[in-house]
Structure 1
């Protein structure tokens, strides 16, 4: 066995016959999303998802399909950036809103004083 001593070993312990291996590099979730699309595809009706390996842990086909519903790497980064920037944007809006209100009141007072003169 070519992968017996590797982190992929657990996936092939119970497999026999022809098996295709798909490599997900840094983003396993995106690979799982693509596999879920293949499972649903009418073009690849004979495609059968048998499972996967993530961080050396063997996964069932159902677990791979569950992982396909997670946010991928890019989506996670955008969620994180949104969470980081959100409070600052809220604070900025509150400060600018209050400042604009005060500036509007000062302008109205000036206009009233000019109108009296």
Structure 2
């Protein structure tokens, strides 16, 4: 839990469950969750892989896996307003970089997060 002064962001993911990973992302400001997102990465019967996001009570949006290597995956949905592309890259052992953004005309709008792998902890009261 945050200490009342901290702000931050993060993601928590399950181990693979059959054809799916389940996740939740959050952004907090002064110990209040300002944004949250339910996420899943799923392999469909067709064999295609999708990242599916439901941010802060909005409609579900799907992003199809378009690129992948051992250390990087890219999901895209060019028809979506923002973001159109989500990228996860391993930049060091236990360190991931998540990027989300869209290109409109000649400009790019987006953000990136650095995610550090940690052990799960129970909230303290």
TM bucket by the smaller chain? under 0.3
Give the structure with the higher percent helix: 1
The TM-score normalised by the length of structure 1 is 0.24
> Which structure's CA Rg is the greater one?
1
| Higher share of residues assigned strand | 2
